[in-house]
Amino acid sequence: MIGIGFSGRKVSLEKLPGWEPESWGWHGDDGNTFCCQMTGKKYGPTFTTRDIIGCGINFMTGCAFFTKNGVHQGTAFRDLKDILVYPSVGMKRPNAQVTVNFGQTPFVYDIDDMIRRERAAITEEINRTSISSLHTQADESSFLKELVAQFFAHNGFVETAKAFADEVRAESRALQTGTGTETSHSEISLEEDLDASNRQQIRAAIMDGDIDKALKRTNAFYPQVLQDHSHVYFRLRCQKFVEMIRQTAEILESSPTKQAKFSNGHGSADTDTEQVQMDVDDSKNEAEDWDRMEMEEDDTSVKYQELLEDTLRYGQVLKQEFQDDPSTDGAFKEIFSLFMYEDPRKSPQAHLLDRAGRVPVAEELNSAILCMLFPLLCDLRCTSDLYRCILMEEQYHWANHPPPQ
């Protein structure tokens, strides 16, 4: 029995890839893939001795794939952005041996051809895009400047946006000197800066785990967004449940009985008198310490129980609110399973508690807000992502990891 995949640095080496949080794998005995849990999903054929298995992650799309003897088996995992993983191989048979290839010899699967096809597909989609269907009155030059400005606004690059606006303004003045037709950019820049600041505050609240604050500010600044994007609202509500579960686990971990014992007076003493005094006071100090620990334990227990009850009530309200939406059943099953474990951080669903999970929630809400602020950006969302990939991600990737020639 063999499993091949990738894992985070904290994953135990005692189990096959895919059986634990932050671990993904394809198993040869049944052809199933395993994503951070013991339950597998049907994926591809089985594999065994002398088969050559490849594994790759497209970090631009967040998708992972496997190959068998040079044949691509399709997408195995999705939503793998912002993760740090390492190649992993697990074997159950004693004295089993494997040979690994990290690029020191040509791969059986033609990865270079895959890279060329990915880049060609992106370029083709960009070339097919016409601004004539966007009902814009701007010429091509003005349109591209607007697209760049929206890119800066999307990512919250306030200072860069200001510098870009100054450059556009200077160019406009140079071209329109004496015509009196120059458009004022200061008011537009001020409004965009304010929106960027609002979105940054909302994002910061989510990244801090304060979902209530994020919801409050979103409703205050952009009240229509959550009504128009119910799936984003649902994700935020689920994230609050996850944050509450995390808080219960952290309270339990901070219990005084789980912390280091107090010192019993083994410090140095300059004189015999001081040592004697310390010995006399030891029993009194130790009793006071234990009394204090018991009081703290009681307080912690009360806080833990109260938060646990609050979390349960919140989950019930959440389930009732979305009971008529069958598309939420999978998400509910996943997050509610955390309740089954005394320490959810050691459960098969522990990956849900990873703070990195806040990132896609923040980005999805940010995208929804931008669709309202910049309809053009919403129309060009796919194309803008392609420009972003080419201008930023590909430049960084190929500069640091050039494909083999």
Nearest-5° angle of CA 12, CA 13, CA 18? 75
* DSSP per residue, 336-397: HGGGGSSSGGGSTTGGGG-GGGHHHHHHHHHHHHHHHH-HHHHHTHHHHHHHHIIIIIIHHH
Confidence of residue 392 (pLDDT cuts 50, 70, 90): very low
- Kindly tell me if the per-residue pLDDT of 115 is higher than 70: yes
- Return the top range by mean pLDDT from 78-82, 116-120, 267-271: 116-120
Higher pLDDT, 37 or 134: 37
Residues 6+ apart with CB under 8 A from 253: none
- Kindly tell me if the per-residue pLDDT of 347 is higher than 70: yes
Residue 297 confidence (pLDDT): 58
Residue 127 confidence (pLDDT): 80
- Tally Cβ neighbours within 10 Å of residue 247: 17
Residue 129 confidence (pLDDT): 73
As a whole-number percent, the residues of the chain with pLDDT over 70 amount to: 73
Identify each DSSP E strand in 63-214 by its residue range: 63-68, 71-77, 86-91
Q: Point out which residues pair with 64 in neighbouring strands.
A: 57, 77
Side chain identity at residue 126, one-letter code: I
Rounded average pLDDT over 291-312: 75
Cβ atoms 269, 275 nearer than 8 A: yes
Higher pLDDT, 93 or 58: 58
CA distances from 279 to 116, 265, 293 (A): 77, 8, 21
Helix, strand, coil percentages in the chain from 3-state DSSP, rounded to 5: 60, 10, 30
Cβ atoms 345, 64 nearer than 8 A: no
Residue 66 confidence (pLDDT): 97
Q: Point out which residues pair with 257 in neighbouring strands.
A: none
Rounded average pLDDT over 370-376: 74
CA distances from 223 to 195, 227, 228 (A): 14, 8, 9
Provide the CA 67 distance to its chain's centre, in angstroms.
26
Q: pTM score, two decimals?
A: 0.50
Residue 162 confidence (pLDDT): 76
- The rounded distance, in Å, linking the Cα atoms of 178 and 81 is 51
- The rounded distance, in Å, linking the Cα atoms of 362 and 214 is 9
Residue 221 confidence (pLDDT): 92
Rounded average pLDDT over 302-319: 90
- Return the top range by mean pLDDT from 155-159, 247-251, 276-280, 346-350: 247-251
- Kindly tell me if the per-residue pLDDT of 405 is higher than 80: no
Residue 342 confidence (pLDDT): 80
Higher pLDDT, 244 or 132: 244
Confidence of residue 292 (pLDDT cuts 50, 70, 90): low
Give the tens place of pLDDT for each residue, 313-344. 999 999 999 988 888 888 888 899 888 888 88
HSE-CB of 45 using CA atoms within 13 angstroms: 11
- The rounded distance, in Å, linking the Cα atoms of 114 and 211 is 40
Cβ atoms 336, 245 nearer than 8 A: no
- What burial class does residue 126 get, using C-beta atoms within 10 Å of its C-beta: 0-12 exposed, 13-18 middle, 19+ buried? middle
Give the tens place of pLDDT for each residue, 216-246. 999 999 999 999 999 999 999 999 999 999 9
Q: Which two tokens stand for residue 171?
A: 């160019």
Nearest-5° angle of CA 173, CA 175, CA 177? 60
Rounded average pLDDT over 84-95: 89
As a whole-number percent, the residues of the chain with pLDDT over 90 amount to: 33
Confidence of residue 132 (pLDDT cuts 50, 70, 90): low
Rounded average pLDDT over 118-136: 76
Provide the CA 385 distance to its chain's centre, in angstroms.
18
Higher pLDDT, 175 or 363: 363
Residue 135 confidence (pLDDT): 56
Rounded average pLDDT over 38-53: 93
- The rounded distance, in Å, linking the Cα atoms of 117 and 226 is 38
Give the tens place of pLDDT for each residue, 153-164. 666 666 777 788
Rounded average pLDDT over 119-136: 76
DSSP state of 392: I
Mean of all residue pLDDT scores within the chain? 78
Residue 40 confidence (pLDDT): 92
Q: Point out which residues pair with 6 in neighbouring strands.
A: 24, 87
Residues 6+ apart with CB under 8 A from 226: 215, 218, 219, 232, 233, 236, 368
Give the tens place of pLDDT for each residue, 280-289. 455 555 555 5
Rounded average pLDDT over 84-94: 89
